[in-house]
Structure 1
Amino acid sequence: MLQLHGIDVEDHHGLIADKTQPLGNGPLIWFEVDDFDALVERAHEMGVEILLDKHCNPPDRNGGPNHWEIWMKDPEGYKVVAVSPDGTADGEWKP
């Protein structure tokens, strides 16, 4: 999934784009993975720059995708978001 957000729009997660950065300014690259917790562990082990560590979307778990997310930066400065499949934050989903 590719999301394009307005540079001055905060939505529920705050501003996404950083006007002072030449790269990674706005685009978010999202990957849905079945092994989300393993990915989070590997990201920490590798020293990946974590922007938002593991969290539920939506934060109040009321509607929305009800999945886990982790927001990171790639070596070029672009934001990359890994997510668990929709409906997995309640712990009942099975692949």
Structure 2
Amino acid sequence: MYPQPLIAVADVEKTSRWYQTILGLQSGHGGKEYEQLLFEQRMVLQLHQWQAHEHPHIGKPERIVGNGVLLWFESAHFDQLVDKLQAHQVEILEGPKYNPNANHREIWFKDPNGYILVVASPYGDI
């Protein structure tokens, strides 16, 4: 079993471009209402337009976005990602820092919709 998180966003195409630019993901579907983002041919994130397809359990855009949920990714290219975040002036919340409990590096930041992401280096990379 593999997780395939779905986040609701106002602008699927704009958000897709951001994730492709910042995290290096690829479009696997494309469209104004729904997108599948891939890494090495495996879907790692889905984007869904808030009001599209009348899904009653996606939530409501006026609520706090992502409260209690973090989108957590591991990357073997941690240093390059940090450089990319800084070059694109992404809002960094914490880090980059070493997490001694997990024995890796982490950086916490926000996507354009307010979702919090964490990218960690592989376990034991320090």
Aligned to 2:72: 30
Structure number with bigger Rg: 2
- In the alignment, structure 1 segments of 5+ residues that lack a partner are 3-20, 59-63, 90-95
Instruction: Quote the RMSD (CA, aligned, Å).
Output: 1.6
Greater than 3 Å deviation, 4+ residue runs: none
Q: Distance in 2 between matches of 1:26 and 1:51?
A: 15
Q: Percent identity?
A: 48
* 2:84 alignment partner, one of 42, 47, 51: 42
TM-score, scaled relative to structure 2: 0.48
Give the structure with the larger helix fraction: 2
Alpha-carbon distance, 1:25 to partner: 1.3
Deviations 1:8-66 (A, max 9, x none): xxxxxxxxxxxxx71131101111001100000000000111000200113xxxxx321
TM-score, L = length of structure 1? 0.63
Counterpart residue number, 2:115: 78
Aligned counterpart, 1:55: 97
The higher-RCO structure (CA 8 Å, 6+ apart) is 1
